């Protein structure tokens, strides 16, 4: 953490725990933001002092007001700016003069309205730097700290949320109001609630680090429209998760291109490819959610209940149909139905009527009252094969809904295994659901959501157990040779680097290149072929020819000297015919590989996450099945392995239907080396190895073709 | 429709519109089913007469009771049986004697409890047949008719639902209670509500036909655990949809194997493969839903709003974030954002503040009150490119939620384009949502659900427009030859039919078989090869050899007479070596095909839907990508085409990256012929064509290999 970041952590502490707050630019007009902020702070029963700062008023709500913040006689810890954007810089300057270090800028009219706004925003940052201040915003809703020793609602949200252990961060202020309303109806509480707006100074990264050390926060939620620094976000997330074990759930909007352009039109975001974002989040251990509902469904599972030790659950229901639907949902989500022991079966048999289903899913039958539920849940909890219990209820005429809800909360107390519930319906079950929600039993309308939440907690906990991945040391890397080679490419202002040179570069990083060399005469070609042994392949090399096969510049399976001479001449004739202006550097003669599986490997530079390594099934299937997987560099061994395992090609490589298993380790090695290259050479915009021939287990891989695009240095 | 089915339609009419009802087996014990049923009928303000029948009571709730149903002095239209299962047959016999034709059997304790129960159930059916009666149940919740001229709640549901145009059918009684509760909270009304239980007599098929002609019902929903006759269900659904234009939405539980076995454990269902069910439903135009929430999300879109003419929508929001999330959801669901005309842009510019986003998605900005929403919605409706409007609202401090809801309902009146809403949050927006729900504006918590519902209505409407598919006449079918051939196979009690014979059979149905014949001597093999021309392929033929390549019984690319002789001998040697007991019928000599794409085609018999045709990508990719598509036979031309189009292989066949386009029509023709074969020969359990070589456009396809499994006749 650099000095500026450390300063922000210190100032964030003041933002959340101020002894005195000035609301700068407030007024007496009810229903306006400048007034609502002041009003909310007072209503939240804040434990410190509040100073209204208003050029026009002597007092507001009976409290002495000051013309300027510098006029306030006491020390001010936190200033909240609600002036119009045109005068914010002057107010901030005064805050600096007053010695205030912590600021929230609520005012809108900055980056989000275009170039002029962006200039104003930069001015704010400059002023903050000058005085060692840090600020949240501009263009935000404010922040809330529910801690009983603080009780600060420094926002224009309609209401103060309840206390809880969820920290919520949002780039969109409007979404905050919907979230608060949603959470309040479901009795979901928060530790911190932060709208960070344009994040001109304090960013989501700073806030992540802050929440890492914030005791009351156990679960971190975030709504993001723009990943401005994906690398930093991943680094921060990894650190937060590793050090604190707190899960991070993020909604990143702009999944589709139209969505991204709508996001751009209102915040000016630059959005990277969505699949890369998926991969990067997964690598960092971030749980990506599609919407608020999904996020909170998972968040309450994390916040309310212990993590399951395995994916094996017991389902207790009073109706067969919903039991089947829940089983379907569980299996689809990768959960398993626990197998009850004889002991459990005996207990259930005794406790339930003869018509009940005592196998998992347990059907306590429509006329069940609470006693049957209690017996079944206890039996399930006691079974060693059960690591989680799902309680399903339909409101039938005999069902004592509230009593069952109460009993579920009692059974859950002190349990080390999680219990979730789904009371189906709406009106009749409403009071029962409220009982569950207040006592922190995760409740779900849909079995799907319940299973998805369970799976998320289980999966995150498995992720936590994995020892920190380390990027392995790679041998045979000639860093200096490669650097010189790359400098030479760039110094000539070249962008497209064709096969032979790309392969030379790859060789310096220990990637498996084919045998062969460039031939500039037919005799040399024959000589090379003789050296490496027939059959060989010949390919034209030219800076102008990107698609060699389109000029018929590739000859395969050349079996002897005569064929070699013919092939050499034929390539020259074809190129002369189809692309007479192309300058031919020579003919690349390499050994011919057969009996292999073909993959595609590559590097792409993502504007947000930086260097990304790609692997997938080669040949025409790349386009048909889009069977590719991404990893942000640098890669650990485990990440490189996961990348391959995630492709369907993995099944083929593993030896399908009596086909020979392939050398997967050599592919992992190639990915690790590509990852290192991508890190070391930021000028690589794209690099394709297509195909990589993967030989049988123990025999390695060989590059079949490669090319590279460098960033143009202007 | 046969006589029995016609009888059921007539009796169903009496079940729903009885002038007099007898509750047979009722009592005075509140909270029991026999009492609740009587009580519900009286509470529902039924327009006819009710007769309690109770062996022990003289009167119940002040109404004269009768010992037996035959004692009732007046005519009885409908009898509702609530006796224990042990005496139901006697009560039903008496109903028959009394001349009652319409019966609902609520009582449980039949098929669902095992063999003894099944016997009792069959007894009920026999009695019904004898007297020309029809009954719903047993083991059900009963039926509800909300029509004002009837008002009958002949069920033990907790409450009578509101009037509406949704007809709901359920195999599970317990689910009904959850559905009624859910719907009541959301102000969703019903036309008919039917729990059909074990469907021993009247089935879901009868009910579908009944609702087809039931005027108040506009949308049909069903919860099914068991598709006992898939073919009849598809036929009925097709007819209902074609004749009435009413959409049919079905939850079919038991998607996963564990789910299916849980279903089996409680109703004894036999479940077919789930993908086949998906395909069959899609063919019939049925909309399959995963859960209650999804079903009602779609149902209200159908029931409340006109169908969209295109997939182009306008999104109106007061917050950028939710606008982006909705755009993401719309694009992911295949919807499009409408492009506003200059006219619309001008209107929006004038009506909205400068900071608003006047492009689609329109952001009327956080401080918008109802006037801005109204202006934006009207402008969107008037735009010719817009065919649907999504209204998104977040509860910000200025937002006049209820006024906006009222205005949305007013604008929607008389509109020919649909409007859906999502008021985000929960408590603050609750009253606004209620206004929308009461005035039949579909409201969704999630943008995803909104877009999914819109897409479902759009897609169904497109489906309706398609002229009825016809199964085409196929030429060159030698039905009698094929029948004789098949009879011979079966008469020998054979099950596995190897390549040559399967190919002969396929040839009689006009499928494209390779050139070649069976050779029983080396000289004959050479002669055949000479006739068809080299290169050829040779394969061993034996009833005992299912996997020819495992005994090395296939020789490819045989180029001349010498190679032919060698190959012939080699095959015999290999088989003698690896599987010495196999009796070799001969060597199959056929022409060698190269330069083709390989597909797999086949027939499978599904226990529920009958003959199913399959097509997919051949080779090892079958297993890796499971790129297959299903169609229930008989197939129309359009269905066969859709089957291929649904595979990813279609992209390859269409000519990817300069590869030659393939003869897709010949594949369609092959599928149609397979469909006809599957229909004509019910004894085919499985038939595989693997591979089918698909040649270039206009050049047809050729079968590479085939085999068949026949049902064993015991």
Domain B305-465 annotated CATH 3.20.20.105: no
Query: Can you tell me the mean pLDDT for A391-405?
Result: 93
A 82-121: CB under 8 A from B: 113
Sign of CA dihedral A654, A655, A661, A662: negative
Contact A265, A185 (CB under 8 A): no
Confidence label for B236 from pLDDT (cuts 50, 70 and 90): very high
Say whether residue A561 is in contact with chain B using an 8 A CB cutoff. Answer: no
Identify the helix (H) or strand (E) that includes residue A252: strand A248-252
Closest Cα in chain B, distance from residue A54 (Å): 22
Query: What confidence tens digit (pLDDT) does each residue in A272-287 have?
Result: 468 889 999 999 999 9
**Mean pLDDT value of segment B679-706:** 93
In 3D space, the residue among B150, B222, B144, B217 whose CA is nearest the CA of residue B184 turns out to be B144
Is-contact A166 A221, C-beta < 8 A? Answer: yes
Burial of A257 per CB tally in 10 Å (0-12, 13-18, 19+): middle
Q: Tell me if B255 and A446 make a contact (CB, 8 A cut-off).
A: no
Model pLDDT for residues B399-441, shown as the tens digit of each residue: 999 999 999 999 999 899 999 999 998 888 999 999 999 999 9
Is residue A366 within 8 angstroms of chain B, CB to CB? yes
Order of all β-strands in the sheet with B190-195? B152-155, B142-145, B190-195, B163-170, B219-224, B248-252, B287-289
- Report the alpha-carbon angle B85-B91-B95, nearest 5: 140
| Dist. CA B89–CA B98, nearest whole Å | 14
Mean pLDDT estimate for chain B: 92
> CA torsion sign, A670 to A675 to A681 to A682?
positive
CB-based contact, A316 to chain B, within 8 Å: no
Strands A163-170 and A219-224: parallel
* Min Cα–Cα distance to chain A from B275, Å: 14
How big is the CA angle at A562 (ends A556 and A565), to the nearest 5 degrees?
70
DSSP B41-71: HHHTT-SSEEEEE-SS-SEETTEE-BSSGGG
State which CATH number among 3.40.50.720, 3.10.180.10, 3.40.50.880, 3.90.550.10 fits the domain covering B3-147+178-195+207-287.
Answer: 3.40.50.720
Average pLDDT for residues B14-31, to the nearest whole number?
95
| Chain B CB within 8 Å of residue A453 CB | no
Residues 170-199 of A with CB under 8 A from B: 170-175, 177-182, 184-186
Nearest by CB to B185, which of A258, A398, A427?
A: A427
Give the C-alpha separation, A522 to A562, whole Å.
11
Determine which of B178, B329, B399 to mutate to test the interface with A (most A C-beta atoms within 10 Å): B178
B594 falls in which pLDDT band (50, 70, 90)? confident
| CB nearest A328 (choices: B184, B186, B254) | B254
Provide, as residue numbers in chain B, all residues whose Cβ is less than 8 Å from the Cβ of A36.
Answer: 397
Q: Do A373 and A390 contact (CB within 8 A), yes or no?
A: no
Mean pLDDT of chain A: 92
Q: What one-character-per-residue DSSP string does B513-551 give?
A: PPSEEEESSHHHHHHHHHHH-SSEEEEEE-TT-S-GGGG
Q: What is the pLDDT of residue A548?
A: 87
Domain A597-710 has CATH 3.30.470.20: yes
User: Are A654 and A663 in contact, with CB atoms under 8 Å apart?
Assistant: no
Note whether B303 and A227 are within 8 A (CB).
no
Q: Which of B141, B159, B174 to mutate to test the interface with A (most CBs of A within 10 A)?
A: B174
Residues of chain A positioned with their CB less than 8 A from the CB of B113: 355
Chain A residues lying within 8 Å of B327, measured CB to CB: 256, 258-259, 262
Mean pLDDT of A658-671: 91
Q: Assess B424–A contact: CB distance below 8 Å, yes or no.
A: yes
Using the predicted structure, report yes or no on whether residue B528 has a pLDDT greater than 50. Answer: yes
Contact B327 A223 (CB under 8 A): no
Residue B628's beta-bridge partner residues?
Answer: B616
Chain B residues with beta carbon closer than 8 angstroms to that of A327: 256, 258-259, 262
Which chain B residues are closer than 8 Å to A657 by Cβ?
Answer: 620, 623
* Cα four-point dihedral sign B488, B630, B265, B229: negative
B291 vs A446: CB contact, 8 Å cut-off?
yes
Q: DSSP states of A50-111 as a string?
A: EEEE-SS-SEETTEE-BSSGGG-SS--SEEEE-S-HHHHHHHHHHHHHHT--EEEE----SG
A681 is written with which tokens?
Answer: 């050479």
Residue A588 has pLDDT above 60, yes or no: yes
- Distance (Å) from the C-alpha of residue A99 to the closest C-alpha of chain B? 33
Tokens of A185: 């109806």
pTM of the model as a whole: 0.83
What is the predicted pLDDT for the residue at B636?
Answer: 92
pLDDT at res. A372: 96
| pLDDT at position B215 over 70 | yes
3-class SS of residue B641: helix
pLDDT tens digits, one per residue of A314-337:
999 998 888 988 999 999 999 999
Min Cα separation A255/chain B (Å): 6
Residue A105 has a pLDDT of: 97
Is residue B498 over pLDDT 90? no
The partner residue sitting opposite B158, judged by closest CB among A327, A363, A428, is A428
Please tell me if residue B258 touches chain A, with a CB cutoff of 8 Å. Answer: yes
Three-state secondary structure call for residue B466: coil
| Cα–Cα distance for residue pair A200/A123, rounded to 1 Å | 10
* Nearest-by-Cβ selection for B262 from A175, A223, A327: A327
The number of helix segments (H) and strand segments (E) in chain A equals 24, 30
Check residues B265 and A148 and name the one with the higher pLDDT. A148
Name the 3-class secondary structure at A491: helix
Q: Phi and psi for A604 in degrees, rounded to 5?
A: -135, 145
User: How does DSSP assign A31-66, residue by residue?
Assistant: TSHHHHHHHHHHHTT-SSEEEEE-SS-SEETTEE-B
List of chain B residues whose C-beta atoms are within 8 Å of the C-beta of residue A172:
319-322
| CATH class held by domain A515-592 | alpha beta
Distance separating alpha carbons of residues A687 and A706, to the nearest angstrom: 7
What's residue B272's pLDDT?
43
Residue from the list B331, B355, B621 with its beta carbon closest to the beta carbon of A256: B331
Structure tokens at A544: 């102008």
Residue A619 with chain B: CB contacts under 8 Å: none
pLDDT per position as a tens digit, B293-332: 999 999 999 999 999 999 999 999 998 888 988 999 999 9
Query: Element (H or E) spanning B34, and its range?
Result: helix B33-43
3-state secondary structure B311-353: CEEEEEECCHHHHHHHHHHHHHCCCEECCCCHHHHHHHHHHCC
Decide if B16 contacts B150 (C-beta within 8 A). yes
Three-state secondary structure call for residue A214: coil
Q: What's the pLDDT score for residue A273? A: 65
Q: pLDDT value at position B620?
A: 66
Indicate where chain B has its CATH 3.40.50.261 domain(s). Answer: 305-465
Flag if B174 and A36 touch (Cβ within 8 Å).
no
pLDDT above 90 (res A183)? yes
Chain A: nearest CA to B46, how far in angstroms?
Answer: 21
The CATH number corresponding to B469-512+593-714 among 3.30.470.20, 3.20.20.10, 3.30.360.30, 3.10.20.30 equals: 3.30.470.20
- CA-nearest residue to B108 within chain A is A355
| CATH H superfamily, domain A3-301 | Succinyl-CoA synthetase domains (3.40.50.261)
Record: contact B177-A395, CB cut-off 8 A: yes
Tell me, yes or no, if B655 comes closer than 8 A to chain A by beta carbon.
no
* CB contacts, 8 Å: A113 with chain B: 355
User: For position A139, what pLDDT does the model report?
Assistant: 92
A306-465: what fold? Rossmann fold (3.40.50)
Distance CA B301, CA B522 (A): 71
Tell me if chain B has a CB within 8 Å of the CB of A586: no
Confidence category of residue A226, pLDDT binned at 50, 70, 90: confident
Helix (H, G, I), strand (E, B) or coil at B80: strand
How far, in Å, CA of B629 to CA of B645, rounded?
9
Cβ atoms of A228 and A268 within 8 Å: the answer is: no
User: Average pLDDT for residues A669-685, to the nearest whole number?
Assistant: 94
Torsional sign, CA B391, B394, B398, B399: positive
Q: How far apart (Å, rounded) are the C-alpha atoms in residues A243 and A469?
A: 14
Residues of CATH 3.40.50.261 domain(s) within chain A? 3-301, 306-465
Lowest-confidence segment of A318-332, A457-471, B618-632 by average pLDDT = B618-632
User: Quick one: pLDDT band at residue B270, thresholds 50, 70, 90?
Assistant: very low
Residues of chain B in contact with residue A290, where contact means CB-CB under 8 angstroms, are: 448
Instruction: Check A429 against B258: CB less than 8 A apart.
Output: no
CATH 3.30.470.20 domain position(s) in chain B: 469-512+593-714
Question: Hey, which residues does B390 pair with through a beta bridge?
Answer: B315, B420
Residues of chain B with CATH 3.40.50.720: 3-147+178-195+207-287
User: Which residue out of B140, B425, B452, B651 would a mutagenesis test of the A interface target, given it has the greatest number of A Cβ atoms within 10 Å?
Assistant: B425
What are the DSSP E strand ranges found in B41-199? 49-53, 59-60, 63-64, 78-81, 102-105, 134-136, 142-145, 152-155, 163-170, 190-195
CB crowding A504-543: b at 16 or more within 10 Å, else e: bbbbbbbbbbbebbbbeebebbbebbeebeebbbbbbbbb
Q: Which of A291, A396, A656 is opposite residue B325, by nearest beta carbon?
A: A291
Indicate where chain A has its CATH 3.30.470.20 domain(s). 597-710
Instruction: Please report the pLDDT score of residue B267 as a whole number.
Output: 41
Q: Does B43 touch chain A (CB under 8 A)?
A: no
Model pLDDT for residues B89-146, shown as the tens digit of each residue: 999 999 999 999 999 999 988 998 888 999 999 999 999 999 999 999 999 999 999 9
Count the neighbouring beta carbons within 10 Å of the beta carbon of residue A15.
27
Q: Could you tell me if A325 lies within 8 Å of chain B, comparing CB atoms?
A: yes
Among A380, A389, A392, residue whose Cα is nearest residue A324: A392
Chain A neighbors of B445, CB-CB under 8 A:
293
Q: Pick B32 or A370 by higher pLDDT.
A: A370
Mean pLDDT of B257-285: 69
Binary contact (A291, B447; C-beta < 8 A): yes
Which among B298, B322, B337 is positioned nearest to B442, based on CA atoms?
A: B298
pLDDT band for position A656 (cuts 50, 70, 90): confident
Extract the tokens encoding B271.
Answer: 């479940």
Q: What is the mean pLDDT of residues B358-383?
A: 95
- Name which residue leads in pLDDT, A69 or B493: A69
At residue B261, the pLDDT reads 67
Please say whether the beta carbons of B331 and A263 come within 8 A: no
The answer on pLDDT for A498 being more than 70 is yes
The pLDDT score that the predictor gives to residue B713 is 61
> CA-to-CA distance for B277 and B252, rounded, in angstroms?
9
């Amino acid at each position: 953490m650099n000095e500026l970041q450390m300063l922000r952590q210190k100032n964030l502490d003041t933002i959340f725990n101020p002894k005195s707050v000035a609301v700068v630019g407030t007024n007496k007009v009810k229903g306006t933001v400048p007034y609502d902020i002041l009003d909310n702070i007072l209503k939240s029963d804040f434990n410190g002092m509040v100073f209204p700062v208003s050029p026009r008023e002597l007092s507001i709500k009976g409290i002495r007001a000051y013309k300027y913040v510098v006029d306030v006689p006491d020390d001010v810890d936190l200033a909240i700016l609600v002036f119009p954007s045109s005068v914010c810089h002057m107010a901030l300057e005064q805050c600096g003069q007053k010695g205030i270090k912590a600021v929230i800028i609520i005012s809108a009219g900055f980056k989000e309205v275009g170039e002029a706004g962006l200039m104003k925003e930069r001015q704010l940052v400059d002023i903050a730097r000058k005085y060692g201040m840090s600020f949240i915003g501009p263009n935000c809703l404010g922040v809330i700290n529910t801690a009983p020793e603080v009780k600060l609602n420094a926002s224009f949200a309609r209401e103060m949320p309840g206390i809880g252990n969820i920290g919520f961060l949002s780039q969109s202020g409007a979404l905050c109001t919907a979230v608060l309303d949603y959470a309040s109806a479901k009795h979901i509480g928060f530790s911190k609630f932060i709208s960070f707006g344009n994040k001109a100074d304090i960013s989501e990264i700073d806030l992540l680090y802050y929440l890492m050390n914030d005791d009351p926060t156990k679960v971190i939620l975030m709504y993001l429209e723009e990943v401005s620094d994906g690398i930093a976000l991943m680094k921060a997330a990894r650190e937060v998760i590793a050090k604190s074990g707190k899960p991070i759930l993020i909604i990143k909007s702009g999944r589709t291109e139209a969505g991204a352009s709508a996001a751009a039109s209102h915040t000016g975001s630059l959005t990277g490819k969505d699949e890369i974002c998926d991969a990067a989040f997964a690598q960092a251990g971030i749980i990506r959610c599609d919407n608020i509902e999904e996020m909170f469904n998972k968040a309450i599972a994390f916040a309310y209940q212990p993590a399951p030790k395995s994916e094996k659950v017991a389902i207790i229901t009073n109706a067969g149909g919903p039991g089947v639907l829940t089983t379907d949902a569980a299996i689809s989500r990768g959960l398993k139905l626990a197998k009850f022991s004889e002991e459990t079966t005996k207990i259930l048999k005794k406790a339930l009527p003869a018509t009940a289903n005592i196998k998992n899913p347990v059907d306590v039958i429509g006329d069940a009252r609470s006693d049957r539920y209690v017996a079944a849940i206890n039996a399930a909890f006691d079974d060693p094969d059960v690591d989680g219990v799902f309680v399903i209820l339909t409101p039938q005429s005999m069902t004592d809904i509230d009593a069952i809800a109460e009993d579920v909360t009692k059974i859950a107390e002190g349990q080390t295994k999680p219990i979730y519930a789904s009371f189906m319906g709406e009106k009749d079950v409403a009071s029962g659901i409220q009982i569950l929600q207040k006592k922190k039993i995760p409740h779900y309308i849909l079995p799907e959501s319940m299973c998805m939440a369970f799976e998320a907690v289980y999966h995150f906990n498995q992720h936590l157990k994995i020892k920190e991945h380390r990027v392995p040391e790679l041998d045979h890397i000639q860093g200096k040779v490669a650097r010189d080679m790359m400098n030479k490419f760039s110094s000539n202002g070249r962008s497209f680097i064709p096969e032979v040179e790309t392969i030379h570069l790859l060789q310096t990083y220990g990637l498996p290149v084919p045998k062969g060399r460039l031939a500039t005469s037919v005799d040399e070609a024959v000589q090379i072929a003789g050296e490496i042994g027939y059959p060989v392949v010949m390919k034209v090399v030219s800076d102008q020819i990107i698609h060699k096969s389109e000029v018929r510049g590739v000859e395969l399976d050349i079996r002897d000297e005569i064929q070699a001479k013919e092939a050499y001449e034929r390539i020259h004739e074809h190129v002369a015919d189809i692309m007479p202006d192309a300058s031919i550097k020579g003919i690349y003669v390499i050994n011919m590989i057969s009996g292999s599986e073909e993959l595609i490997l590559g590097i792409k530079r993502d504007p947000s996450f930086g260097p990304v390594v790609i692997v997938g099934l080669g040949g025409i299937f790349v386009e048909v099945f889009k069977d590719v997987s991404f990893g942000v560099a640098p890669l650990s061994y485990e990440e490189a392995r996961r990348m391959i395992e995630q492709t369907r090609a993995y099944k083929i490589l593993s030896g399908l239907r009596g086909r020979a298993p392939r050398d997967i380790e050599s592919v992992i090695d190639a990915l690790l080396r590509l990852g290192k290259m991508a890190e070391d050479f930021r000028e690589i915009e794209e690099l394709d190895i297509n195909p990589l021939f993967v030989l049988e287990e123990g025999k390695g891989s060989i590059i079949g073709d490669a090319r590279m695009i460098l960033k143009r240095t202007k």
